[in-house]
Structure 1
């Protein structure tokens, strides 16, 4: 069964969108190294740290549409003049431009990078419940790794300094920023990730909303509140 990351509705295997809320469901692939279930968008396997770039689905290229080239203006004018029906069409005279006229330059289009930066300007953070410590989410990262120091996927949010952090895996969960929203997914942790006391299966994503309670591992020992 595939659990909807938006409404937690169980869907049958192979479904592409939620039957209840029509949210697109994430694609699940198997890690070639340890056979763990991993989201198709994950960069690394959360169980063994294997780079998942090589198992991403390959999409066939979109066929190009061949457009006939336009008829040159000279040929079009010759066809009109040689047509026996109707009078010949005289092209309009060129528009004269005054020498003292000033033409304002067109505004430059905004770059995708600037637009992306504007979408991520709002503040998002995690409040550690047990110590009342605030962890700011880096606004310049699209994927934020949560875990403990390791030599494969260094964490962007290091929770090794909190009490009971031994239940947190070195590569535990990811928070993704997409179009002004944040999503959390478990990347194969040993003790699991829980959102509002519900387990988050590896590969499933949950859209975070202000007030959501995130627990890393069982027992609600390393807990955060999402704030935005």
Structure 2
């Protein structure tokens, strides 16, 4: 899929110009590492990240070098004697985990003073504590709020009213959902009408053959010798119709312009499709 740099329309792989705005599309190539489709001026592949400027050099993933540790004996450093200060901090010296004689007697501990906060003595003759005074809130009566009078609308005469808007008549009538678009081809040389099949997504145009039987056979038309047995296809995608040349000998022309191989053209009402050179077999595309 090639995205047009002008209108962002997705085009099929191998297209040389945009099928929507006819802008020349950038050339593409394949990544030599993963085979993905990339633009010819790209520096790196969007799939595997291969550097496209180093063309001809295969992409080799670096191998991880394994290290082998030789069997070398490990030298253990000699033990360091403990610090003399640590011997003083043994449990026996601190009175932890030793005999009961190592703990100092309770009489040798300094006395601890406990301060008790003074309490107010409550007697029967003491007066009770006064209750907190709460300010009285003003009471608002509902009856004291006046009710506004109802609004009266002034009468409007018919002369002051604006005239009603009348929709302008439209030239075309919108298609309803029940209606279905019907495509057809009109043979210019014989004025013959050909309805395109509505149940096919790909309509083959050509002459009788054993490989791909045509859905529109032009064998009975005058000058049919310029048409190949497998000449062109009309593809239906939603409401859009596309025509493409599938490898004919004399080519396909749209509005007197050659349709390049590998490209396709979106058909619009009134487009002129010519099969072969010389404008000998020509069809007009219409929608109804």
TM range, normalised to the smaller chain? 0.5 to 0.7
1:25 counterpart residue number:
11
Report the structure, 1 or 2, having the larger strand content.
1
Residue by residue over 1:41-69, the C-alpha shift from the partner in whole angstroms, topping out at 9 and shown as x without a partner, is xxxxxxxxxxxxxxxx9xxxxxxxxxxxx
Residue correspondence of structure 1 range 6-45 to structure 2 within 5 A: 16-28=2-14
C-alpha distance in 2 between matches for 1:134 and 1:22 = 36
1:111 counterpart residue number:
none
Q: What is the total number of aligned residue pairs between the two structures? A: 129
- Residues 126 and 138 from structure 1, CA distance in 2 versus in 1: closer, same or farther, beyond 3 angstroms? same
CA contact (8 A) 1:120 1:139 kept: no
2:242 counterpart residue number:
183
Please tell me the root mean square deviation across aligned C-alpha atoms, in Å.
2.5
C-alpha distance in 1 between matches for 2:178 and 2:263 = 24
Q: CA deviation at 1:121?
A: 3.0
Q: CA deviation at 1:157?
A: 0.4
C-alpha distance in 2 between matches for 1:141 and 1:172 = 17
The structure with the largest alpha-carbon Rg is: 2
Gaps of 5+ in 1: 1-14, 30-56, 58-117
C-alpha distance in 1 between matches for 2:268 and 2:202 = 17
Q: CA deviation at 1:18?
A: 2.0
* Aligned partner (choices 234, 239, 262) of residue 203 of structure 1: 262
2:190 counterpart residue number:
131
C-alpha distance in 1 between matches for 2:231 and 2:225 = 12
Q: TM-score, normalised by structure 2?
A: 0.42
- Residues 120 and 23 from structure 1, CA distance in 2 versus in 1: closer, same or farther, beyond 3 angstroms? farther
Q: CA deviation at 1:210?
A: 0.2
Residue correspondence of structure 1 range 1-228 to structure 2 within 5 A: 16-28=2-14, 121-228=180-287
Residue by residue over 1:71-104, the C-alpha shift from the partner in whole angstroms, topping out at 9 and shown as x without a partner, is xxxxxxxxxxxxxxxxxxxxxxxxxxxxxxxxxx
- Residues 224 and 120 from structure 1, CA distance in 2 versus in 1: closer, same or farther, beyond 3 angstroms? farther
Q: CA deviation at 1:23?
A: 1.8
